[in-house]
Amino acid sequence: MTAGATPEGKTERRAPTRAGFLYGFIVAALVAGLPFLPFANDYFIAVAVRMLIFIALGQAWNIVAGIGGLLSLGHGVFLGLGCYAAGILFNEYGLPPWLGIWAGGLLSVAVALVMGAMTLRMRGVFFALATIAVSLALDQLARHYVDLTGGDNGLALRFLGNSLWFMQSRTPTPFLYAGLIFVIAYYWITQWVLRSRLGSEMKAVRDDETAAAAAGVAVFRTKLLGLLLSAVMTSFAGTLYMQSYQAIDPETAFGLSQAIQLQLPALIGGLGTSWGPIIGGTIMILLSESTNWGSTRLGIAGVDILVYGLLLLAVVMYAPKGIMGLFGKRTRGVWHS
Amino acid sequence: MLPILQAVLSGILVGGVYGLLSIGLSLAFGVMRIVNFAHGDLVMYGMYVGVVASTLLGIDPLLALPASFLLMAVLGALQYRIVFRRFVGHTTLNQLLAAIGLGLVLQMVAQLVFGVDARSAPSIFAGSYDLVGPFFFARAQIVAFLVAGVATIGVELLLRKTQWGKAVRAVADNIEAAEIVGLRSQRINLTAFALSCGLAGIAGTIMVTYYPTDPTKGFTLMPIAIIATTIGGLGSVGGAFLGGIFCGVVQQTTAMLWNSALQDVPLYFLLLVFIAFRPTGLFGHRSE
C-alpha cells in the first residue's frame, strides 16, 4: 500500500527494537521503585501520579491528533465524561468505578460518534470548532444540573478509606502503579496503531486526504475510528483521574487550560510518536510544578498558564515535531497542510 | 406573546454587538484563512482601554473608541509580523494552536497588569432606558448597536468601493496572481489583519459601557463570535454581522422560554448542525 510509505510511516513502522524495549523497561522499573526511595513523601508521589495521568491523557490525544491529524480542542469532554460517570454512579448508586469506567467509556463513544458523524466529513477547522462547542455545551449543562453534578462546586467522591473495590486510597502510592499500568498499556496501543493498517491509513489521511482517498482509504471511517479510540482512552484515564483526585468540577473537566494540558504532552514531546507524550508529559508537569512553586512564593497567580501559552507558541512556531523531532531525521512537520 | 417579542428585540440589540465581535474574525479568515482564537483577547484589551479611559483619564469610554481602534490595530500588526505571517493561505492546525497560545499569553499579561477583578466603565448612557410602545431598551445597548452597524457598513464599503479593498479581495482570491500584477501581498495582509484587530478594539470598548470586563472575557466571548461567524458564512463580513444578530435572538429567546443559565446550549448545537449540513453558513458563497 502506498499510503504507509511516507517518511514518518517508514520510521515508525519498525517493530520496537530490543534497545527501545530495554529503555522502556528501565524507565518503568524506576517509576515503580519511586516509593522505596528514602526521600519519597506523599507530595513527591502525588506529582509522579499527576505526571503519569497526564502522560496517559496525552497518549490518548496523540492518537487522534498526532497520528490522525485531527485537532481536537475539546478532549476535556471525554475526560469529564470519565470523571463524572464514575463519580455519579458511585455517589448516587454506590456502584464501584470498575463499572463506572465502562459507563464513561460508553458515553464517550456515543458523544464521539455523534460529534464525528456531524463534522468529520468537513475540513479540519470545522472539527476543531465543533469540539470546542461540545465542551462548552457540556460545561454549561454540568454547571446547571446541580443535583447530578454538583454544579460550579463540582463533585466530590464520598470517601470510604482504603478500598480496592472502590478504587480509593489514603495515600497516592496505589495510583502510581495504576497510572504506570495505564501508561504502559497506552504505549503498547500507540505502538500497535502505528504499525497497524489503521495507523497507516490514519497517517495517509493526515498527510494528504485527497491522495489517501484516491489510494482507496475510507477517509471518513478512518477518522471516526481514530476519534473513537482516542475518546475511550481519554475517558478511561479520566476515571483514573477521578479516583486519584476524588473530585471534579466543570472548569477542571471542560475548561481551556485543561484542554491545553491535554495537548501539550504530545506537542512538546513529538506528535505521532510513541515516546513523545511520555517525554512531553514529564516535562510539562515538572515545569508546571516548578512555576506553581515559584509563583506562590512570589504571590502571583496564573504564571503556569502564561508558561503554557509561551510553550505552545514556541513549539508550533519553532519545533513542530517536538523533542523527538530534534533527535530524529530531518523530516517535515506532521501538520503541514 | 409580548415577552417573546421583547426577547427577540433585545436579542437583535445584543446580537448587533456579537456581530461587531465577529466581523473582524471573519475578515481575517476571509482574506488570510486565519482563524484568530486570540481575537476575543483583543476585544478584552479593547474593554480595558475603556476602563483606563474612564477611571484613569476620567473621560467617557465612548471617546476612547478611536484610540482603542488604533491601539488594537497596532497590536494586531505586531501579532501578524511575529506570529501569523507564516500561516497565511490555508488554515493549518499549527495556526489554530499558535492563536490559542497567543490568546493565553495575552490573557495572562492582562491578569498581571489589571488583576482578576471585574471592572466596568459606564458611559453617559449607562442606566438610561427607552420605552418604545410596550418594549424597553437599554440606551447603552442601542448606542452599541448603532456603532456596530456603522462599523459593519464601513468595512463592507472599504472592501467593495476602495482601491485598497480591491487589492485585499484580489490577494484573498489568488495570492500568486495578485503578486504577478504587482500587489504586495504581505503588506496588504498586514493592513487587513490590523483592521480586523482594530475592529476587535472597537467592539471591546463599546461593550464595556454596559458589560464588565475581566481577563477571561476574551475566552468567554470567543465562542459566540465563532458561532456567529460560522453561521454567517466564514469569511463574509456582512454575514458575520447578521450571524451575530441571529445568535443574539436565539440566545435571548432561549433565556426567556427555557433557562438563562442554559442560554448558549442551543447555539452550540446549532453550530454542529450548520457544520454538518451547511458549512458555508447562511451567507457564504465559497464552497469550502
Which residue does chain A place closest to B260, by CA atoms?
Answer: A144
Contacts of B116 in chain A (CB under 8 A): 301
Taking the C-alpha atoms of residue A166 and residue A330, their distance in angstroms, rounded to an integer, is 48
Q: Is the pLDDT of residue B40 over 90?
A: yes
- What's the grid cell of residue A283? 516535562
Find the CB nearest A335 among B92, B223, B288: B92
**Minimal C-alpha gap between A191 and chain B (Å):** 24
pLDDT at B287 over 50: no
Cα A25 from Cα A164, distance rounded (Å): 26
Q: Decide if pLDDT at B115 tops 60.
A: yes
| Helix ranges, chain B (H) | 2-32, 39-52, 65-82, 93-114, 139-161, 163-173, 175-180, 185-207, 217-232, 237-257, 265-277
Mean pLDDT estimate for chain A = 87
- Quote the CA–CA distance of B20 and B148 in Å, as a whole number: 5
Residues contacting B27, CB < 8 A, separation 6+: B155, B192, B195, B196, B199, B237
Residue type, B243: G
User: What residues pair up with A156 in beta bridges, in sequence order?
Assistant: A247
Phi then psi for residue A247, to 5 deg, are: -160, 155
Tell me the three cell numbers of residue A61.
490525544
Mutate to test the interface with A, among B37, B102, B104, B259 (most CBs of A within 10 A): B104
ipTM of the prediction: 0.85
A313 vs B102, B226, B275: nearest CB:
B102
Say yes or no for a CB contact (<8 Å) between A122 and B109.
no
Kindly report the nearest CA distance between residue B103 and chain A, in angstroms.
8
Asked if the Cβ–Cβ distance from A136 to B83 is below 8 Å, we say no
Q: With contact defined as beta carbons under 8 Å apart, do B201 and B73 qualify?
A: yes
Cell numbers for A18, please give them.
530490543
Contact list in A for residue B272 (CB cut-off 8 A) is 115, 118-119, 130, 133-134
Task: Report in angstroms the alpha-carbon separations of B39 from A13, A69, A279, B87.
Answer: 41, 24, 32, 16
Indicate whether A167 pLDDT > 80.
Answer: yes
Shortest CB distance from A320 goes to which of B94, B230, B262?
Answer: B94
**Which residue is closest to A302 within chain B, CA to CA?**
B108
**CA A266 to CA A234: how far, in whole Å?**
14
pLDDT band at residue A298 using 50, 70 and 90 as cut-offs? confident
Which residues of chain A neighbour B98 with C-beta distances below 8 Å? 312-313, 316-317
Q: B266 to chain A: nearest residue by CA? A: A137
Rounded CA-CA distance A42/A49 in Å is 10
The predicted-structure confidence for B71-109, as pLDDT tens digits, reads as follows 999 999 999 999 999 888 877 788 889 999 999 999 999
Closest to A48 (Cα-Cα) out of A174, A167, A235, A191? A174
Distance CA A159, CA A179 (A): 20
pLDDT mean over A44-51 = 94
State the CB neighbour count (10 A cutoff) for residue A36: 7
Query: Cα B31 to the chain's mean position, in Å?
Result: 16
Task: Provide the percentage of residues in chain A whose pLDDT is more than 70.
Answer: 92
Which residues have a Cβ under 8 Å from the Cβ of B34 and sit 6 or more positions away? B28, B84, B87, B88, B91, B95, B99, B193
Give A261's contacts in chain B (Cβ within 8 Å). none
Q: Would you state the pLDDT for residue A37? A: 86
pLDDT at A6 over 50: no
Nearest to A190 by CA among A18, A68, A23, A326: A68
Q: According to the model, what pLDDT value does residue A292 have?
A: 85
B257 interfaces chain A, CB cutoff of 8 Å: no
Find the farthest-apart pair of alpha carbons in chain B and give their distance in angstroms, rounded. Answer: 60
B280 near A CB under 8 A: no
Give the pLDDT of residue A334: 53
* Interface check B102 vs A, CB under 8 A: yes
Q: What is the pLDDT of residue A332?
A: 47
Q: How many residues does the structure list for chain A?
A: 337
Q: Which residue has cell 508521589?
A: A45
Interchain contact B104–A (C-beta under 8 A): yes
Q: Given an 8 Å threshold on Cβ–Cβ distance, is A144 in contact with B111?
A: no
Listed residue (B2, B5, B38, B72) closest to B221, CA to CA = B38
Cβ contacts of A295 on chain B, cutoff 8 Å: none
pLDDT at residue A15 greater than cutoff 70: no
Distance from the B232 Cα atom to the nearest Cα atom in chain A, whole angstroms: 14
The residue to which cell 470567543 is assigned: B222
How is residue A177 written as a grid cell? 502503579
pLDDT at position A257: 83
Q: Residue A84 and residue A290: Cα distance in Å, rounded? A: 29
- B201 CB burial (10 A radius; 0-12, 13-18, 19+): buried
CA pseudo-torsion sign B41, B42, B44, B49: positive
User: pLDDT at residue A27 above 50?
Assistant: yes
More confident residue, A334 or B20: B20
Instruction: Specify which residues A163 forms β-bridges with.
Output: A168
Answer yes or no: is pLDDT of A12 > 50.
no
Taking contacts as CB-CB distances below 8 angstroms, the residues of chain A near B102 are 309, 313
Is pLDDT above 70 for B170? yes
- Alpha-carbon distance of A64 to A229, in angstroms, equals 8
Count the neighbouring beta carbons within 10 Å of the beta carbon of residue A39.
5
Determine the Cα angle at B225 with ends B284 and A84, to 5°. Answer: 120
Interchain CB contact of B276 with A (< 8 Å): yes
**Quick one: what percent of chain B has pLDDT higher than 70?**
98
> Does B35 contact A125 at a Cβ distance shorter than 8 Å?
yes
Closest chain A residue by Cα to residue B109: A306
B-chain residues within 8 Å CB-CB of A210? none
Q: List the grid coordinates of A102.
A: 465502562
pLDDT of residue A160: 85
Q: Which chain A residue shows the shortest CA-CA distance from B288?
A: A123
Q: Does the structure show a pLDDT above 70 at A291? A: yes
A248 pairs with which residues across the strands? Answer: A155
Q: What is the pTM of this model?
A: 0.89
- Residues A235-264 have a mean pLDDT of 93
The grid cell for B233 is: 458564512
Residue A8: pLDDT over 70: no
Residue A17: its pLDDT value, please? 63
Which residues on B lie below 8 Å from A122 (Cβ)? Answer: 275-276, 279
Instruction: Please give the pLDDT value at position B278.
Output: 86
Find the CB nearest A141 among B109, B265, B279: B265
In this complex, which of A137, A308, A317 lies closest to B268 when CB atoms are compared? A137
Question: Alpha-carbon distance A47 to A31, whole Å?
Answer: 12
Asked which of A229-243, A267-281, B128-142 is least confident by mean pLDDT, the reply is B128-142
**Contact between B279 and A335 using a beta-carbon 8 Å cutoff:** no
Best mutation target, B268, B269, B270, B274, to test chain A (most A CBs within 10 A): B268
State which of A127-131, A163-167, A209-213, B194-198 shows the largest mean pLDDT.
B194-198
| Separation of alpha carbons B103 and A308, rounded Å | 11
Residue A309: its chain B contacts at CB < 8 A?
100-105, 107-108
Distance from CA of B254 to the nearest CA of A (A): 14
Q: Are B232 and B20 in contact (CB under 8 A)?
A: no
Amino acid B57: pLDDT: 92
What is the average per-residue pLDDT within B228-254? 92
Q: Which of B105, B259, B264 sits opposite A313 (nearest CB)?
A: B105
Task: Report the alpha-carbon distance of residue A110 to residue A106 in Å, rounded.
Answer: 6
Give A130's contacts in chain B (Cβ within 8 Å): 271-272, 275
Residue B285: per-residue pLDDT: 57
What are the CA-CA distances from residue A217 to residues A8, A201, A330, B283 (Å)?
18, 6, 27, 33
Q: How far is CA A255 from CA A73, A136, B39, B138, in A?
A: 10, 8, 18, 32
| Residue in chain B nearest A121 by alpha carbon | B276
Residue ranges of the alpha helices (H) in B115-138?
none
pLDDT at B107: 93
Q: What is the pLDDT of residue B243?
A: 94
CB B216 within 8 A of CB B119: no
**Cα separations (Å) of A142 from A135, A158, B253?**
10, 19, 21
> If 0-12 CB within 10 Å is exposed, 13-18 middle and 19+ buried, where does residue B277 land?
exposed
Q: Pick from A315, A264, A299: which is nearest to A285 by CA?
A: A264
Chain A residues touching residue B261 (CB < 8 angstroms): 140, 143-144
Question: In this structure, what DSSP letter does residue A35 have?
Answer: G
